Amino acid sequence: MLDQLALRAELSDHYDLAPSTDIAAATADIYARMDRVVTPPDWAIHAPYVAAINTLKKERNAVILAHNYMTPEIYHGIADVVGDSLQLAVEATQVEGDVIVQCGVHFMAETSKILNSSKTVLIPDMAAGCSLAESITAEGIAEMRAKYPGAPVVTYVNTTAEVKAASDICCTSSNAAQIVRAMDSETVIMTPDKYLAQNVARQVPEKRIVWWDGSCIVHEQYTARDLHEFREWNPGTRIIAHPECPPDVVDAADFSGSTGGIIDYVTREQPEKAMLVTECSMASNIADALPGVDFVGPCNMCPYMKKITLEKVLWSLHTMQGAVEVDPAIADRARVAVQRMIDLSARLNS
């Protein structure tokens, strides 16, 4: 666990991180990307960190990959690449710098390390986990194989390297249905997200899909009733749900897609009012680019994603601590499953 006080003491010895209206003014171009959702006093707090990170990033020849659930000051302030899980995995294969800083959760950093093993991959907080990744081990995969002999195992990227290594192919929320459809078997095992599997089962009725009993603590909280009630009280709202939500929630929505798919949909459709049934930062990150869209309704926070802060990013780049390592033998097998997904997905979408 990070010692927050020691971290702060170390950083204040090397950087002037006091709130600064001067640095805020000097970084006004960056602030303009998020001024609908971040107040000027908050920007004066963030700006010294953003400036220090962007300078240090160059010195370390580092690239920051940030998931769509990062807060706006990370997403717009310091990220070199933003995206959903699939987009970040593909980008990780192409990084030429020496260091990748993964602003996301641990399985994402592991995936980057698996795909680009010569790089130093830093995660600013090792405790940034994921309820799905924690729900299954390689033994769980073996259990499913024993129960459904011969069925291929399609594993969500939200898993550890060991679990990926024990699987046949990975998927993300943006390509799950395509990957399952392409499996040469009537029965397909999907792990570990039961709701993603149930949502895919509706899209691919020709397959018998069996699943592991995992779920995302952010998306499982939504209920179809919440959505119906919200729609009743707020007519005209376009409701967009992530496929980690239960199937009746997805049914109650107008569209369902990966975080990247949700951004594309809202950008294309530009509804007057939109409710994003997913993590809270999603709406914040696209609010400035879409001034005509009013983002309404409740959202849920991912406590794991929110462990990543500007302060911890600066600390990891400063100390170069928080390097993610994957046993090479496991990485080799996990790489096969992830690369199969990337290649199949590219082929199916070309």
* Rounded distance between C-alpha atoms, residue 145 and residue 139, angstroms: 10
Among the residue ranges 71-79, 162-170, 299-307, 327-335, the one whose residues contact ligand SF4 (CB under 6 A) = 299-307
Q: What is the total count of residues that contact ligand SF4 (CB under 6 A)?
A: 13
Query: What does 100-169 look like in DSSP terms, one character per residue?
Result: EEEES-HHHHHHHHHHSTTSEEE-S-TT---TTGGG--HHHHHHHHHHSTT--EEEESSS-HHHHHTSSE
d(CA 159, CA 298): 27
Min. distance of Cβ 145 from ligand 13P in angstroms?
24
Q: Among residues 131, 175, 256, 309, which is the contact residue for ligand SF4, using CB under 6 A?
A: 131
Q: How far is the CB of 305 from ligand SF4 (least distance, A)?
A: 6
User: Is 215 among the residues that bind ligand 13P (CB under 6 A)?
Assistant: no
Q: Are 110 and 100 in contact (CB under 8 A)?
A: no
Nearer to ligand 13P, 259 or 284 (CB): 259
- 37 vs 52: CA distance, rounded Å: 22
Rg (CA), the chain: 20
- Pattern 223-262, ligand 13P, x by CB under 6 A: ---------------------x-------------xx---
Site string for ligand SF4, 22-61 (x = CB under 6 A): ----------------------------------------
Could you give phi then psi for residue 97, rounded to 5 degrees? -60, 175
258 binds, options ligand 13P, ligand SF4, none, Cβ within 5 to 8 A by partner type = ligand 13P
- 8 A C-beta contact, residue 318 and residue 11: yes
CB of 83 to ligand 13P, least distance (A): 7
Q: How far from chain centre, in Å, is Cα 296? A: 22
Residues of this chain that interact with ligand 13P (CB under 6 A) are 68-69, 84-85, 158, 172-174, 244, 258-259
